[in-house]
Amino acid sequence: MHPTFSFEHVHGGPFDPFAWFNIIGELGCVFWILAYILIIRQSFKDKSYGLPLVAISMNLAWEFLASWVIPNPVPLWLFFDRVWFFVDLVIVYQLVRYGRELQTIPEIQRHFYPIIAGTVMLSISGLYAFYVQYHDMLGLMGAFMVNLVMSVTFIFFAFSRRHQGGRGLSVPAAWCKMLGTLGTSIECHYVIGMTQEWLGGLNFLTFLCLSIFLFDCLYIYVVTKAVKATAREPQQAQEPRLAVAV
Q: Which of 206, 162, 170 is nearest to 37 (CA)?
A: 170
Q: pTM (2 decimals)?
A: 0.89
3-state secondary structure of 167: coil
pLDDT tens for each residue of 92-144: 999 999 999 999 899 999 999 999 999 999 999 999 999 999 999 999 999 99
Q: Which of 45, 58, 56 is nearest to 166 (CA)?
A: 45
What CA–CA distances, in Å, run from 198 to 108, 168, 208, 222, 234?
A: 42, 42, 18, 39, 57
In this prediction, residue 235 has a pLDDT band, given cuts at 50, 70 and 90, of low
3-state secondary structure of 242: coil
**Domains of the chain by residue range:** 13-230
pLDDT for 4: 56
- DSSP-assigned letter for residue 138: G
Asked whether residue 203 carries a pLDDT value surpassing 90, the answer given is yes
Asked whether residue 163 carries a pLDDT value surpassing 90, the answer given is no
What CA–CA distances, in Å, run from 94 to 62, 115, 120, 121?
A: 19, 15, 15, 19
